[in-house]
Every structure is written in C-alpha cells, then in structure tokens.
Amino acid sequence: MSTPDPCIQVTELTALFQRVYQQRMQDMPMVNPALCVEAVGFRPWTDRCIGILITPWFMSLIALLPSDEGVSPPATDEKCHYQFPSGDYDFLVCYDEQFGLYHSCSLFSPMFDFPSQELAQQTALAVLDLLWQAPEGAQPAQAPRVEATGKLSRRQLLRGLRSEDKP
C-alpha cells in the first residue's frame, strides 16, 4: 500500500496560514507587514515532508505527515522527537480541524528582525542547509529517527548513566 507524498500538502498548508493571516492576525502588533506567508525548501524525509514556513508573525520548521497518520487532536503538550543530521529537535504536535496534524519547531517569533521577505527567505534556506548538515566535530550521522513524544524518565536517565559508568 503506497502512502501519498506528504509534500503535496504544502500548498494547502500555505493556504491555511494565509487564511489565518487574513482572518485572525490583521491589526495584531506581533505581525510584521513587510512579510507574507511562504513555504520554503520543503522536501521529503523518511515518510514525511520537512521545510520552513515563513509568516509575518513566525518562522518555524514544519513536518508534514503522511495522510494516514492520525487525524484526531493531539493531547495537550504533545511533542515529537526528530533526529536530523545536525542533531535532535523537539517538534510540537499541532492540529487544525481542516488541515489535520502537523509538527512545528519554532525558529523565530515575532518576525521584526526581518525587514524584507528576501531576507527571511535567505535565512530559511540557510537554516535548512544547517539542518541537513552534521555540526563540525560531531559524530557521524545516525540513521534518521522519529520518536513519538515522551519525556526521558528518571529510570531511563539512570540506566544510561549506569551502563556508561561501569568500569
């Protein structure tokens, strides 16, 4: 059974946030009117689609999910752990009634650091370059991994410590 490419949702995602901008964010002081809603650099990764969404009030890494992966609202404070070549990231699980689930990791908000859309685009592309690169001096990249939420328990923490502490 083939799963539809989650990247086909990028247009829908952009339309969703354009609607949010028009309907809910007008006249909000947190909005930078020099910017507009734009999706940058979305590409497939494992079974999801990763890229950056620029809006006049935030810029975030976004993970779009396969359409068959859950449609119900997430639990409060639900997170998803992503392992990219550059390191580990926690994404918040977000939900829109029409769009469904997606994951988001904040980069900038508000967006007043960006006097132009061009600068926001360049920054987004630079962030994505860094996201897919291992940091200097880091261990070789491990296999990509996505883990559903869960805080590290004390027991897990202790187990990690003990296994490494054994002489």
Partner 1 sequence: MSHTETYYEVMRRQGITRRSFLKFCSLTAAALGLGPEFAGTIAHAMENKPRTPVIWLHGLECTCCSESFIRSAHPLAKDVVLSMLSLDYDDTLMASAGHQAEACLEETIEKYKGNYILAVEGNPPLNEDGMYCIIGGKPFVEQLKHAAEHAKAVISWGSCASWGCVQAAAPNPTQATPVHKVILDKPVIKIPGCPPIAEVMSGVVTYMLTFDRLPALDRQGRPKMFYGQRIHDKCYRRPHFDAGQFVETWDDENARKGYCLYKVGCKGPTTYNACSTVRWNEGVSFPIGSGHGCIGCSEDGFWDKGSFYDRITDMTHYFGDQPSGVKQFGVEANADTVGMAAAGVVGGSIVAHIAASAIHRARKNPDKNEQPAETQGSND
User: Which of 12, 138, 147, 150 is in the footprint of partner 1 by CB under 8 A?
Assistant: 138
Contacts 24+ apart (CB under 8 A), 142-145: 142/83, 144/45, 144/46, 144/83, 144/84, 145/81, 145/82, 145/83
User: Of the ranges 7-15, 36-44, 92-100, 141-149, which one interacts with partner 1 (CB under 8 A)?
Assistant: 92-100
Question: Is residue 63 exposed (0-12), middle (13-18) or buried (19+ Cβ within 10 Å)?
Answer: buried
Q: How many angstroms separate the CA atoms of 126 and 9, rounded?
A: 23
**Residue 23 within binding range of partner 1, rule CB under 8 A:** yes
Residues 97-136 that bind partner 1 (CB under 8 A): 104-110, 112-116, 118-119, 122-123, 126-127, 129-131, 135
**Residue 45 within binding range of partner 1, rule CB under 8 A:** no
**Residue 44 within binding range of partner 1, rule CB under 8 A:** no
Look at residue 37 and give its three-state secondary structure.
coil
Residues 51-70 that bind partner 1 (CB under 8 A): 55, 57-58, 60-61
Q: Which is nearer to partner 1, 39 or 105 (CB)?
A: 105
